[in-house]
Structure formats: structure tokens, C-alpha cells
Structure 1
Amino acid sequence: DGFEAFSPATLDKLRADGRPVLVDFTAAWCITCLVNERVALSSDIVHQALKSHNVALLKGDWTNRDAEITRVLQAHGRSGVPLYLFYRPGQAEPDVWPQILTEAQVLEAVGNLPKQSASAQ
């Protein structure tokens, strides 16, 4: 699905590289998370939009209540998943996406990024 495992170090590196990053905090038992993945994050049009804007995808799996992820959730005022954080290049704080996602919301957020060619440094 194109997602790498979330870690603060991976996030920091991607952001230092100037890439937009979508972090999906989810859990196997989270019904809302599974619906969002199916409805808003898995279509071809969303995958194409993410790819064309060079968005890095990180997944924070909170199935076993990982303490590091718990800290991130709490820092954003959440007691559980889903939590979607969208880091734009040059923006200190992430956009916090709604807990119920639509494909249109994802496409709009990603579409507002400047286009990046794969060769742009």
C-alpha cells in the first residue's frame, strides 16, 4: 500500500528532505480506520495524486497501544485512532485531518501542494 512504518526519526528525515508526509495512525481493531482506508485512501486517483506530489506515507500501527504513538495522539488532543497528520514542506505544524475522511478531502489537501517532479532536488 506504499506505507512505511512510522517512527519519529523517519518522519524527521522525510521532512528534512522537503517532502510532504501523510502519517496514518491506525489500528487493526479500529473500524473507522478501516473504512477510511477503503473509502478515502485506497483508490487509484488518490494513489496517483499522492505519487504525483511525492507524498511520503507513514503508518503508525496502534493495534498494541504503542507508547510512542500514544504520545503523538495525546500531543494532538486525541485519546485514540484514527489520527491523520499531513505535513506540508516548510510548515512547522501538521494539518490534522478529520477522523472521518473522504476521497475529496484527501485530493483537495494533496492538490493544494506544489507539484514536484521526481527529479526536483
Structure 2
Amino acid sequence: MFVNLTADWCITCLVNERVALSSERVSSAFRAAGIAYLKGDWTQRDPAITAILAEHGRSGVPLYLYFAPDAARAEVLPQILTPELVVKTVNGVLL
């Protein structure tokens, strides 16, 4: 599972979605690996998303979490994404 916590006003989030997360390369990798893609919208400061951010040491978005199969914890991705970074993460390639 890949979790994208974002907000409409977050410029970094919007760029990451356009450049990395919406790319065909990432979409293909998600499909091939059977990755569920979940998006949480923090535009209105939803308390449930605020709690997830705090749990991962963040005070705001973006926050990208990858839950590998059978992993005990989510891997936290950097705030700036590239298609290559996301694909390598999904494919289990150490960065």
C-alpha cells in the first residue's frame, strides 16, 4: 500500500503528484506489484490525518508512506519524489 497525505494548497504535493505519482512508470509499477494507492486530503486539517502526521514526526504535508508486504512498519519516503525513487521503493531496491 502507498499512502499519499496531501493538501490542495501544498505546492510540493502538487508537483510530486504531477511529476512522480501520476507518471505512467509509477502507475505501471503499482499495478505490477498490486499496490493499493490511498490519498488523504489534509486541506481542511483533518484530525485523523494530523494524528498520522504526528505519529511520523511531521507537522504538515506531504507525507508519503509505503507499506511493503509483510512489513511491520511503513517506509517514510522523502518529501520530494521522483518516478525513479517511487519505483525503486515499490520494487524493494535500497536507495
TM-score grouping bracket, smaller chain normalisation:
over 0.9
1:40 equivalenced with 2:20 (yes/no): yes
Match of 2:51 in 1: 71
> Unaligned regions of 5+ residues in structure 1, if any?
1-20, 114-121
Measure the CA separation in 2 of the matches of 1:104 and 1:47. Answer: 12
Report sequence identity in percent: 56
Measure the CA separation in 2 of the matches of 1:43 and 1:71. Answer: 29
Q: CA shift at 1:112, angstroms?
A: 2.0
Match of 1:5 in 2: none
Measure the CA separation in 1 of the matches of 2:55 and 2:92. Answer: 26
Q: Is the 8 A contact 2:5 2:64 kept in 1?
A: yes
Measure the CA separation in 1 of the matches of 2:82 and 2:25. Answer: 13
* Rg comparison, structure with higher value: 1
How many corresponding residue pairs? 93
Measure the CA separation in 2 of the matches of 1:42 and 1:101. Answer: 11
Taking structure 2 as the reference length, the TM-score comes to: 0.94
Whichever residue aligns with residue 59 of structure 1, its letter is K
RMSD: 1.0
> Unaligned regions of 5+ residues in structure 2, if any?
none
Measure the CA separation in 2 of the matches of 1:59 and 1:43. Answer: 16
Q: SS at 1:35's partner residue?
A: helix
Runs (4+) of structure 1 exceeding 4 A deviation are none
